[in-house]
Amino acid sequence: MIKAIVNVSLKAGVLDSQGKAVHHALDSLHFDGVNDVRVGKQIILKLDETDRTKAMANVTRMCEDLLANTVIEDYEIELV
């Protein structure tokens, strides 16, 4: 069994309002030295697949079709 961890976040040029709000809250709490905050979501999949190449291909298709909206979001896949 392979576990796939998918991280989805807004693309670099797309304003992340939630990240901005969290950054602001961290500033108010006097956590200094935070340059940038991006808020994303993590989707964890447990796959029957044992072949890592096939698993990567499958999860990539899942991201393109459903898990991310590639107009505004980027995704990263990690297999563990």
Binding site for another protein (CB under 8 A): 10, 13-15, 17-18, 21, 66-67, 69, 71-72
Residue 17 Cβ vs another protein, minimum distance, rounded to whole Å: 5
CA 37, distance to chain mean position in Å, is: 13
Cα dihedral 55, 59, 60, 65 sign? positive
Residue 46 exposed, middle or buried by CB count within 10 Å (0-12, 13-18, 19+) = exposed
Q: Which is nearer to another protein, 17 or 44 (CB)?
A: 17
Residue 40 Cβ vs another protein, minimum distance, rounded to whole Å: 12
Residue 58 Cβ vs another protein, minimum distance, rounded to whole Å: 17
Q: Which is nearer to another protein, 21 or 34 (CB)?
A: 21
Q: Which is nearer to another protein, 2 or 16 (CB)?
A: 16
